[in-house]
Structure 1
């Protein structure tokens, strides 16, 4: 079996496919050390398994907006008791399952094929809640209609595409101080670990009426009245939580210790299979109305719902100023959220250029993201974004676009087998998210803790991301605090000609704009403004002398994910 896998890896690497995706052994000058075809497939399945929950979760959240359903009740503006309206909303939800899976399939496939990045894409959490509850409102009680909100998203995607082609999105991340960039990656690790501990994962952490969060893990009969996941007593007694901890968490870590391939994927599916039978204490389908509904959907196995209610229903009413308010809000949150996530995932995979601080395929990646946002609006869903769960596949060894293509193919299959794939419980993926969070937190080792002007903004970024449940808010807080803390000392230093500086100013992180400027190379070449090659080399040498460092977290991960045969063939990689 091992020989077959090695031969398959070698044959694919020597093929045009291997060269396109820069697999190790392909002969490409920038081949990605440690990348193997079989490993990429396993990594893609792992990422998909960690992301599969979005199929049902996104459909449930977005359908709360009511979609295109019309409430005609004069006494109940939200139609919470109108059976006809609620039946329409349920149809919208079933169609949104297809929309979510189809957009995840398309965007992930394009991300892998065109950008060659191991990053899964799908309609994002956070933005979908903002779309459903703030912009459209519960059952259409918000500021604009469902169709007008989709118009804002459609235009947002094309604006992003223009910014990506001009290189402005790439430049935005490159000028951010290095400590803040590192803090974003570590903050994302904390966020996904927190998601893994929360009720949408293992349920170890729940709500607390006094301290916002507290220990959870109680059964539903011990919830505080009208407050699900707020435990009155009986904390840490939910059997599903312990199933996820021991099989999805401890067992997965033990398998990783012994370098078992697909350890995270094994843990996720093992917990899921155990959770499917109904007459057990850990079933995903309890004998309740909600459980019966889930089980009825699960029994369909194969189901497809044509998009008659959410497909191509955009109302291009750009004369409504509230549509522009929604557009601007989506723009500033999404540009920081998606841009920061893509950058962090690329860095975690070890694909960042130490000179330009950009990552391979960045322009294509941002263009795919922008295109997918607009296409998602056409099928009725909220903005598509890069998923932080991609880190699970990267931690399994995914380093090329083959990983993302496998994610896309798995989501395509999910379109027709949505009942099965939508039934992976949160406690099956919770352990995997915590494990991946522990891998990503290693970025904090490279933050400049020696100078308080760098350390405090980095820490603020690090802590705000999980506490606000939003990557963009954490980055905004970090940038604002960095400017507030460092601007006055900079002014004093300039006015006194460097005579008055903080005592340990020499320990600060020098902020410089990386070589390359704002605009991409293709645009500079067209306009005849590309710098001479020798000048570019001088800039690179100067920059490397000041900033080049080994990305230890990513490199450690790469080494840990390689097979024994790989290390024997390439001992210098150790």
Structure 2
């Protein structure tokens, strides 16, 4: 297990070990890594989550009605991602990246603004307030109480559930599955060359990992991207559907300052009584998404001890709260830790140096966005499937013969991909744990914090909807 990083001050000052300044500052050698490994891990993480640079603006532009919304939101997305990831790198010293979260941005655009009728400025204010509350939770003992209250078996289930969640995202991106009005989900068009390109990416990534080739995941992403570009396969988003690689018709450099978005949030309106439920939803989903992701990633990185204590210190959570509030000031929805960071962890990333690389690449992407658009979803989907498979090893640490463990664990694992939500999967596991233990006559074994969490998640389901 790598050096403990529970004390945040230990990650913010150089160690006395030998090596370069980067090595000492990030404790690279002490955690069994190398600078080249961290750089490679950072590139891998960035490539797997670069899609958010374009997806986030496309979603939020449905709610934020200003002229030139898309390019402004693209800049804001990169700035928020870079800020949060750099905080994670320089303060928490963890190889995890942040960006505006999928799901939360859809809730912002289609529910808060589109459905409830609040202005996008008020919605940004609600995001800002939720970020501050998240920061308060992070800086107090409440964060640790919650993490320690979650049973060890459920933490392992969360890790496996995140793996399943990554896999279903990869399956959808590869075209292996599609939606169905009769069966909800069905297989995709298995005659499509695009699908078999993605399958080839899965095989290539798996083979390279089996042969312990350095940069296996990056090689797989680049290989699939090159084939997609030169073959003319229609894998890039277009106005009327997928198109072949369109080339750089507008050049590779472009930058738009988000003058209509920065500082546009309306905090007083967000503190109104009717908006508090929106604030709570932003906070609840963001916290549990972050908690679940950090549990899964630290478990995958070998940073969880036998008692379930994870090396995710206060700064890891504080980075999320800070990034959410700063992102709201810039003009985007909640910023959160990304499960795609597992790709960098699989490449060997163990320190904040990997996150430093990711943050730097987001800043570059803000100016060279057309280059980032070269990576199609079909190239990153195979990596997500492979990483999902690797994270499923955590199920071996669950006692499946004990029903009080197996049922809540199973609900958490399958709940994440089936509901397409980390938070909902964790919520199902928490409710099932408390209910089954209570009815089994083992109430005294339930930690009070878990009982409170069960009430809160049930309240979110039945009251907030």
Aligned to 1:212: 184
Q: TM-score, normalised by structure 2?
A: 0.88
| 2:169 maps to 1:195 | yes
Return 5+ residue gaps in structure 2 as ranges: 1-15, 450-465
Q: Deviations over 1:540-559 (max 9, x none)?
A: xxxxxxxxxxxxxxxxxxxx
Matches within 5 A, 1:323-402: 323-354=275-306, 357-402=308-353
Q: Structure 1 residues 281, 418: CA separation in 2 closer, same or farther (over 3 Å shift)?
A: closer
Q: CA RMSD in A?
A: 2.3
Indicate which of 455, 459, 481 corresponds to 2:432.
481
What SS is found at the alignment partner of 1:122? strand
Q: How many residues in Structure 1 have an aligned counterpart in Structure 2? A: 433
Check conservation: 1:94, 1:305, Cα contact below 8 A: yes
Q: Structure 1 residues 313, 293: CA separation in 2 closer, same or farther (over 3 Å shift)?
A: farther
CA distance, structure 2, for counterparts of residue 148 and residue 408 of structure 1 = 28
Check conservation: 1:143, 1:322, Cα contact below 8 A: no
- The Cα of 1:511 is off from its aligned counterpart by 6.6
Aligned to 2:459: none
CA distance, structure 2, for counterparts of residue 468 and residue 512 of structure 1 = 26
Q: Deviations over 1:192-239 (max 9, x none)?
A: 0000001xx1011001120000011xxxxxxxxxxxxxxxxxx21221
Check conservation: 2:327, 2:334, Cα contact below 8 A: yes
Q: TM-score, normalised by structure 1?
A: 0.72
Aligned to 1:101: 78
Check conservation: 2:234, 2:242, Cα contact below 8 A: no
Indicate which of 59, 62, 67 corresponds to 2:60.
62
| 2:147 maps to 1:177 | no
Q: Deviations over 1:443-490 (max 9, x none)?
A: 000012121111111111111111000011111111111111111333
Determine which structure has greater relative contact order: mean sequence separation of CA pairs < 8 Å that are 6+ residues apart, divided by chain length.
2
Say which one has the larger Rg: 1
CA distance, structure 2, for counterparts of residue 291 and residue 12 of structure 1 = 52
| 2:128 maps to 1:154 | yes
Check conservation: 2:232, 2:244, Cα contact below 8 A: no
| 2:212 maps to 1:259 | yes
Check conservation: 1:111, 1:119, Cα contact below 8 A: yes
Q: Structure 1 residues 346, 285: CA separation in 2 closer, same or farther (over 3 Å shift)?
A: closer
- The Cα of 1:285 is off from its aligned counterpart by 4.8
Q: Deviations over 1:405-456 (max 9, x none)?
A: 1111111111111111033111100100000000001100001212111111
Indicate which of 82, 87, 98 corresponds to 1:110.
87
CA distance, structure 2, for counterparts of residue 477 and residue 329 of structure 1 = 17
Check conservation: 1:177, 1:511, Cα contact below 8 A: no
What SS is found at the alignment partner of 1:119? coil
Moved over 4 A (4+): 285-294, 510-514
Check conservation: 1:461, 1:478, Cα contact below 8 A: yes
CA distance, structure 2, for counterparts of residue 286 and residue 326 of structure 1 = 32
